[in-house]
Structure 1
Amino acid sequence: MAMEDFYTTNGNYSTRLMLHTRDSNGDNYQAAEAALDLLQNMKIQAIIGPEKSSQAVFVSEIGNKSQVPVISFSATSPTLSSMHLPFFIRTTINDAAQVYTITALIKAFGWREVVPIYEDTEFGRGIIPFLTDALDEIDVRIPYRSLISESSTDDRIQKELYKLQTKQTRVFVVHMAPSRGSTLFLNAIEVGMMSKGYVWIMTNGVTNVIGSLNASVISAMSGALGIQTYVPQTEKLENFATRWRKRFLEVNPNDEPCEVSTFALWAYDTIYALAMAVEEVGVQNTKIDKNITSSGHLPVFYDGPKLLNAIYNIKFQGLSGSFQLKDGQMQNSGFDVINVVKEGKRKVGYWREGQNLSRQPDLSTIVWPGETNIIPKGWEFPVSGRKLRVGVMKGSFTEFVKVEIDPVTNDIRVSGRSVDVFEAAIKRMPYAVPYEYQLFGAVSEANSLTYNDFVYQVYLQNYDVAIGDIAIRYNRTLYVDFTVPYTESGVAMIVPVKTSVNKNTLIFLRPLSLDLWIASFVFFIYTGIAILILEPNLRASLEGSISGHFGTIVHLSVFAHQEKLESILSKVVVIVWVFVLLVLTSSYTASLSSMLTVQQLQPTVTDVNDLIKNGDYVGYGAGSFVGDLLRQLNFEKSKIRSYKFDKYDEALRKGSANGGVAAIVEEIPYVKSFLAKHCKSYTMIEIYKSAGFGFAFPKGSALVPDISRAIINITDGDDIIQIEKKWSGDQNCQNNGNIIESNSLSFLSFWGLFLMTGVVSTVSLLICVIISLCKNRRKMSNITSVETSSDELNDIEAFPTMNQDENQEGDREVRP
């Protein structure tokens, strides 16, 4: 159809393609022999095919030697590369391009484990390294790989499927050729693996041809998801599909109608690209070379490199989309996610380069195997009915895990705080989780076992989970996954507290710092002076020596409120000053009381470095990681002693000098448990942050997220409080935490008060000065007015005499 369409449209071309077909019958060596036959006898100048990736390896080696381009529209294995096979051209999508669509789909639904099922061929194995790396990027684990050989019968396939049923993982990625994939699904439905709870994801090796599969196969795939290469829907494609169906029924009248596959579209576009390149090059130059093979002389096509470059440069809009080669292969245009239903397939999402998975908003929810809309959680307990193996270990702290063996039945009975948290979490799971407890080691061996050995049993798959007072440590997270912690985190010291009463005779001076004492004294004097200046009566009555004046000033600072004050300004100053004194004395009293009380409860050691400097002995719990921590803190090995929980009190009472220790370093949950029984004698000094206690699961376990959510539910509510009270009693101990000695009050705590009283006193003094100056000025003005009046009176008395003389003089002048 491609040949007909191309030369109908391009009838003026001077070149024509002539197709010479051979059938390899699915055999790699027959494919190689067919290629040699075509080269030697038909003098071919290009090879379209072969169909399989394993055949492409052989044929491309021959193409390299003869310089004949080998163009495949179906060999998708990532191991095939133009870097190693320069004359190999892939006009299809590399399988590795779809792994990010697969991982986006897995991430979208939150599945933690995936089992790939792939055929044991070049095509099947090629995608696995890329899929593994992509899953690792999103922290998804591959616990098992299912490899199906080419010669596998239905019985062998069913045997492999039954093996998968015994495992927990229920998410499968199928990467097979269409024929073998069809066989797999027909057997999967027969063994009951296309039922509720299973997830099947097909790569485009099957999905790209799903429209051409038998109806019974499509029905068997119902509920599966598939990755399909994106092909833009165009009018040209619709017209071709109509003609295809008509042509197919003409050639195969007895077969069921089917859809044109994506590989068929690539084949169509490949013919177009080759025909355009041949017309551009106009190839004729073929010659027999002296290269000898087992089949005889191998011709060399000297225009082969030109034809190869011409094909690389071809660009056009084909049936499959934009035809453009880069690095010897087609570029990824994106993928669609389809859901197979009994009626066929439907698009439920899509993925484009650089995007997250998007779902189609106009389609209904996905129909999963078993015809359910409920999203599978991705794992189940095996059909064999094996219960969750819960490992427990007898430790020193029976409050957390207490193990008892029935002497008659040898049954294990476990209890404790950790057990109660685990069982409460299991009850909150959204599904039933049957479990049974298994003891790690014998009870008599408890002293020689370590928690590292216990956790490592989970890695060895001897247990499905290890519970107890297991600290979450970095070295342990390398081979197991932990839930969120269910206890408080951290490491602390247990140290004795001081019980002696402080007999310091100057203790009464300690509530206030030196700068506050000095500031108080300065403001006492300043306020007294201000009141004395503002009250004229008090100032007028001041007699005697300077020492007497000083005494009056101090008296006014303290007892001014008892004096009869007349000035408004002095009353304002006294009110503010009394408020400052009230706050200051109240704070002093409270600080002194606190010092006298707290002084009796001070720890004997407040810093772990003091233990190192003094060369004291320090203890820790036997089997705990704290021993390694103490050595990291530079304690001498000879100064570190391990004890059981019930020996802590005795070791601390003896002290470092008498065969005991100065402090016990332990994890905070153990410290609080100890203090609940010895509250009055010891206290806790926190020294180091840790992650707390958690439950250990195998790497990638699907139970971890659900158990963690259940633990958060427990620790956020009242349940954890009730569990702690059940096993530790009421831990409301005043010494349960760092005791901080009361500090002296400093000037910085009261500078605002002093600023307020200082400003009020200063402003009052300024107002007083201004008033005094105004009064003095008025008084001076009055005196000046009196003197001026007396002078004017004297002038009036002298004025008539002068006028009389002037008149007399005037008269004399007139008379003549």
Structure 2
Amino acid sequence: MPYVSLSTLRHLIMKTFLLLLFFLVALALKPEGINGDERIIGAISDCNARVGKEERVAMDMAVQDFNMQHNQTFLMLRLKCSKRKPLQSALAARHLINKNKVEVILGPRSWEEASTVSEVSENYDVPILSFADSSPPWAAERWPFLIQAAAGTHIQMKAVANIIQSWGWRRANVIYEDTDSAANGISPYLYGALQAVDVEISNLRPLPSFADSSFLHKELENLKKEQCRVFVVHTSLELARRVFGMAKEKKMMEKEYVWITTDSITSLVHSMNFSLISSMQGVVGVRNSFLETGPHFNNFSTRFYGIFGRKYPEEKHHEPGIFALQAYDAVWTVGLAMNEGTKSNGRQLLESILKTDFDGLSGNIQFTGQKLEPTTRFQIINIIGKHYRELGFWTENLGFSYTIDHGGYNLSMESLGDVNWPGLGGRSSAPRGWDRSTIENPLRIGVPNGSITNKFVKVDYDSSTGKYIFSGFSIDVFNETARHLKYSLQYEFVPFGGNYNDLVKKVQSKEFDAAVGDIAIISNRCEYVEFTHAHTETGLVMVVPILWHSSRALLFVKPFTTAMWFLTFFINVFNGFVVWSIERNYCSELRGPILNQIGTLLWLAFATLFSLHGEKLHSNLSRMATVVWLFVALVITQSYTASLSSMLTVQNLEPKITNIETLKSNNALIGYSHMSFVREYLEGPLGFKSSNIRNFTSTDEYAQALRSGAIAAAFLEAPVAKLFVAKYCKSFTIAGPTFLVGGYGFAFPRGSLLLPDIDEALLNVRENGVLKDLEQSLIASEQCVDIQSDNETASLSPQNFFVLFIITGVTSSASLLIYYFRAKDRYENSRARYKGIWIATIMVLKKLGHRRNKFSRKVSDVADENPGNSPDNSHSQSQV
């Protein structure tokens, strides 16, 4: 005889006593005279699981409560255990129908079991009230006696999607138990809910119910290598216990990870042991919501707590969950239907059940299409510490709220306050939801190495270091964007020599993690990658040659170049000086104070330019210089007049080509960049002939072709056209309409978790003015190179009058020199003549002086001889 411990014997005696007591109570409570109204209810449950235990206690309580309140019908419950095996459930159903003569079967909870039980019951017209919360749309037609007695929870997937959307996560991994029940709950409900909020499923991982540690280790290791750090778990509690245990072991319950559980797990959070709670720290859960207030619930909860604790002392927690409430309501549903009349066939009982309408512990019990109305309100909880914290509620079409009543709703879960995320404690900011910490190499970013202009992307090779150097506007914008991220992003640029479409496809195939440069955002490229917001102006424009014109007030100086004006002024002044120098000896008006002479000189210089004054000149030399200068002046003034008239005529001229229709009608040739998408656009929407399209590799080639007439117009992307016109500012202009195509953006693989952060950082770069500064620096760096533009070529320069200026200069100079030498000869002759006269004069004066002195001496001698007659002598002397 096997050994039986005293505690085991005591336990068996206690169970036998309780069963006997329950049977005696049932007999005592059974009304007399209604033996014909005994109704037997069958039930199938997983007796070893927490759910099954709660269902068993709740159904026993429901039978007892119903029998106490109703005298017409006496319910009896027959329960079979299935251990969640469909075959065993089918055998249990057959035994209940054939041996126990049950009129209805409650349970089981999984769809796999419910379908097999329904198949059995169809042969006996026995209604099945399944506790599975989901079933295929065709189930009611296939099994007319199958009733879904648990409210559907598929709407919870919208709550999960809204939680993910609230924190800005764009992708999620989904882990679910590979059963029909889980599949019906995941697809299409979760997929559709996530798609509605623009969230993609990064990985969809089914796990078998019997998955062992090695299998879970492999699956979680693969998920850990991925960038996505948001996980949605939809499994049974037993499988969830193994999943979270392994996740904690692999350090996947730490910083930057997000775990969200569905009702199948979270609704049993009240029964979780400390080991499971400790491995689920920071998990956010969605569970079925029910009112935990009111006398009816309080009475049920108190009684359930005591009975469950006595019946299952091995369980640490004795509170009832939603599954107990559903089982309790299911018994009452069947009891009320049976109480309407005597025993009848299964179809009449089915119809009576479907007409049931009352407020149960789990909510309103009312069937539509053989199903209870799905649950539209769920509770959001956060597992933290030794238990969990109730954050609030989510209601379909309303959103999140603190309380269960209708009020204070918000579309974002952030309104519920701080969440204790895995590894972050009570930090208010949510995890990024993705991480690159497991990737050894930095981001490989492809950069085009064949741009039409090096202003946006420039790739140089440094032979001394053996490395490439990347610069340009697009490179600068990306570097600034990376600096504005909330975290450090490691990346390296890699040159790519192919065309832009090939570069985009390299990003799609993940040979590059991204592409940066002057990459236009167009629809066919969006089939392969996703783009950030454009960081440049958008549009495709037409560039054509123009005849330069100006509306400035100084237009009158444009007929002559600066050198021509200076030379004309100099020649004028020089000729005036020549005339003044020659004529001043003949005209007293040309002499006088120095200021008067300067004024007269300038007047002579410019008067000859506009009128003929040859008849007033006295010297043939001045006349000769003036005649030649007048001839030259006549040619210059007439040329100036003609040039100015021409410029005034072209003031209102438009660009040579104003629209693409003119190009098409003239069968004109046009140009585009060989590396861009423009050719497809020109041949497609714009309708140009392929034979009329020429490709170019640089802006200089464009300019040369436009000037020479090789092409009539060039089609450039707006950012490039802006720089092109800035460089050739006096030769070309933008004409016609702007064709709306995308600007330049950064390309990332579709569904990239980095893209939303890059977009946000790029907006910050734009809003804080950094992007504007970079744009201004870009335009300022492009200097106009049109030194010899059309308008300046039309201006008259000294080269146009070189011979005339030589003639007049030589003539005037010769006249001045001849006059100078003549004047010198006259001066020398005059000087010699004056010198002779002066000498003769001096000699005469000397002779006269000598004679006077001699006479004076004679008079003196006479006076000495006649001293008494001095007066008379004086008179005589004076007469002499």
Question: Is 1:380 matched up with 2:435?
Answer: yes
- Residue by residue over 1:109-159, the C-alpha shift from the partner in whole angstroms, topping out at 9 and shown as x without a partner, is 221111111111112211222111111111111121122122211222122
How far apart, CA to CA, are the structure 2 residues paired with 1:265 and 1:253? 20
Q: Residue 672 of structure 1 corresponds to which residue in structure 2?
A: 722
Moved more, 326-335 or 414-423: 326-335
How far apart, CA to CA, are the structure 2 residues paired with 1:82 and 1:311? 15
Q: Residue 97 of structure 1 corresponds to which residue in structure 2?
A: 155
Secondary structure in 1 aligned to 2:358?
A: strand
Question: Is 1:687 matched up with 2:729?
Answer: no
How far apart, CA to CA, are the structure 1 residues paired with 2:652 and 2:785? 13
The partner residue of 1:599 within 633, 651, 654 is 651
**Which one has a bigger Cα radius of gyration?**
2
Secondary structure in 1 aligned to 2:771?
A: helix
Secondary structure in 2 aligned to 1:437?
A: strand
Counterpart residue type for residue 350 of structure 1: F
CA contact (8 A) 1:196 1:372 kept: no
Secondary structure in 2 aligned to 1:357?
A: strand
Q: Residue 276 of structure 1 corresponds to which residue in structure 2?
A: 336
Q: Residue 513 of structure 1 corresponds to which residue in structure 2?
A: none
Question: Is 1:634 matched up with 2:661?
Answer: no
Counterpart residue type for residue 379 of structure 1: W
Question: Is 1:474 matched up with 2:533?
Answer: no
Q: Residue 341 of structure 1 corresponds to which residue in structure 2?
A: 384
How far apart, CA to CA, are the structure 1 residues paired with 2:491 and 2:216? 31
Q: Residue 705 of structure 2 corresponds to which residue in structure 1?
A: 651
Q: Residue 536 of structure 2 corresponds to which residue in structure 1?
A: 487
Q: Residue 248 of structure 1 corresponds to which residue in structure 2?
A: 308
How far apart, CA to CA, are the structure 1 residues paired with 2:534 and 2:257? 31
Counterpart residue type for residue 223 of structure 2: L
How far apart, CA to CA, are the structure 2 residues paired with 1:392 and 1:419? 9
Q: Residue 245 of structure 2 corresponds to which residue in structure 1?
A: 186
Counterpart residue type for residue 437 of structure 1: F
Q: Residue 313 of structure 1 corresponds to which residue in structure 2?
A: 355
The partner residue of 2:326 within 266, 285, 295 is 266
- Residue by residue over 1:216-252, the C-alpha shift from the partner in whole angstroms, topping out at 9 and shown as x without a partner, is 2122212111111110122221222222221122123
Counterpart residue type for residue 422 of structure 2: P
Alignment of 1:749-768 (within 5 A): none
Secondary structure in 1 aligned to 2:81?
A: coil
Alpha-carbon offset, residue 314 of structure 1: 0.9
Q: Residue 176 of structure 1 corresponds to which residue in structure 2?
A: 235
Alpha-carbon offset, residue 501 of structure 1: 9.7
Residues 394 and 100 (structure 1), Cα distance of their counterparts in 2 relative to 1, 3 Å cut? same
Q: Residue 707 of structure 1 corresponds to which residue in structure 2?
A: 758
The partner residue of 1:459 within 494, 504, 508 is 508
Residues 272 and 636 (structure 1), Cα distance of their counterparts in 2 relative to 1, 3 Å cut? same
- Residue by residue over 1:440-480, the C-alpha shift from the partner in whole angstroms, topping out at 9 and shown as x without a partner, is 4xxxxx3xx33222212222222221111111112222332
Question: Is 1:133 matched up with 2:172?
Answer: no
CA contact (8 A) 2:62 2:331 kept: no
Alpha-carbon offset, residue 7 of structure 1: 4.5
Moved more, 645-654 or 406-415: 406-415
Q: Residue 369 of structure 2 corresponds to which residue in structure 1?
A: 327
Secondary structure in 2 aligned to 1:692?
A: coil
Q: Residue 38 of structure 1 corresponds to which residue in structure 2?
A: 96
The partner residue of 1:421 within 466, 471, 477 is 477
CA contact (8 A) 2:258 2:433 kept: yes
Alignment of 1:546-557 (within 5 A): none
Counterpart residue type for residue 617 of structure 1: L
CA contact (8 A) 2:122 2:143 kept: yes
Q: Residue 698 of structure 1 corresponds to which residue in structure 2?
A: 749
Alignment of 1:384-533 (within 5 A): 384-397=439-452, 398-405=454-461, 411-440=467-496, 446=497, 449-499=498-548
CA contact (8 A) 2:444 2:513 kept: yes
Secondary structure in 2 aligned to 1:486?
A: coil
CA contact (8 A) 2:171 2:751 kept: yes
Q: Could you list the runs of 5+ residues in structure 2 that have no partner in the other structure?
A: 1-57, 409-414, 552-643, 787-880
Question: Is 1:120 matched up with 2:120?
Answer: no
How far apart, CA to CA, are the structure 2 residues paired with 1:109 and 1:79? 33
Secondary structure in 1 aligned to 2:671?
A: strand
Q: Could you list the runs of 5+ residues in structure 1 that have no partner in the other structure?
A: 285-302, 441-445, 503-591, 736-816
The partner residue of 1:351 within 384, 391, 394 is 394
How far apart, CA to CA, are the structure 1 residues paired with 2:126 and 2:161? 38
CA contact (8 A) 2:451 2:518 kept: no
Identity %: 36
Alpha-carbon offset, residue 78 of structure 1: 5.1
Residues 676 and 304 (structure 1), Cα distance of their counterparts in 2 relative to 1, 3 Å cut? same
How far apart, CA to CA, are the structure 2 residues paired with 1:123 and 1:192? 30
How far apart, CA to CA, are the structure 1 residues paired with 2:781 and 2:459? 24
Q: Residue 589 of structure 1 corresponds to which residue in structure 2?
A: none
- Residue by residue over 1:14-61, the C-alpha shift from the partner in whole angstroms, topping out at 9 and shown as x without a partner, is 333332222222222222222223223333221111132211121122
The partner residue of 1:608 within 660, 680, 686 is 660
How far apart, CA to CA, are the structure 2 residues paired with 1:31 and 1:726? 77
Alpha-carbon offset, residue 405 of structure 1: 4.7
How far apart, CA to CA, are the structure 1 residues paired with 2:480 and 2:360? 61
CA contact (8 A) 1:77 1:95 kept: no
Alpha-carbon offset, residue 89 of structure 1: 1.2
Alpha-carbon offset, residue 207 of structure 1: 1.0
Residues 41 and 728 (structure 1), Cα distance of their counterparts in 2 relative to 1, 3 Å cut? same
CA contact (8 A) 1:166 1:382 kept: no
Aligned residues: 617
Q: Residue 229 of structure 1 corresponds to which residue in structure 2?
A: 288
Q: Residue 82 of structure 1 corresponds to which residue in structure 2?
A: 140
Question: Is 1:367 matched up with 2:413?
Answer: no
Q: Under a length normalisation based on structure 1, what TM-score does the superposition of the two structures give?
A: 0.71
Residues 185 and 132 (structure 1), Cα distance of their counterparts in 2 relative to 1, 3 Å cut? same
Residues 481 and 55 (structure 1), Cα distance of their counterparts in 2 relative to 1, 3 Å cut? same
Residues 724 and 35 (structure 1), Cα distance of their counterparts in 2 relative to 1, 3 Å cut? same
Moved more, 54-63 or 267-276: 54-63
CA contact (8 A) 2:175 2:205 kept: yes
- Residue by residue over 1:309-349, the C-alpha shift from the partner in whole angstroms, topping out at 9 and shown as x without a partner, is 11111111211122222222222241111111123222212
How far apart, CA to CA, are the structure 2 residues paired with 1:412 and 1:151? 54
- Of the two structures, which has the highest relative contact order with CA contacts closer than 8 Å and spacing of 6 or more? 1
Secondary structure in 2 aligned to 1:65?
A: coil
Alpha-carbon offset, residue 612 of structure 1: 0.9
Alpha-carbon offset, residue 698 of structure 1: 2.0
Residues 182 and 683 (structure 1), Cα distance of their counterparts in 2 relative to 1, 3 Å cut? same
The RMSD of aligned alpha carbons is 2.8
How far apart, CA to CA, are the structure 2 residues paired with 1:102 and 1:120? 20
CA contact (8 A) 1:207 1:227 kept: yes
Residues 690 and 733 (structure 1), Cα distance of their counterparts in 2 relative to 1, 3 Å cut? farther
Residues 598 and 692 (structure 1), Cα distance of their counterparts in 2 relative to 1, 3 Å cut? farther
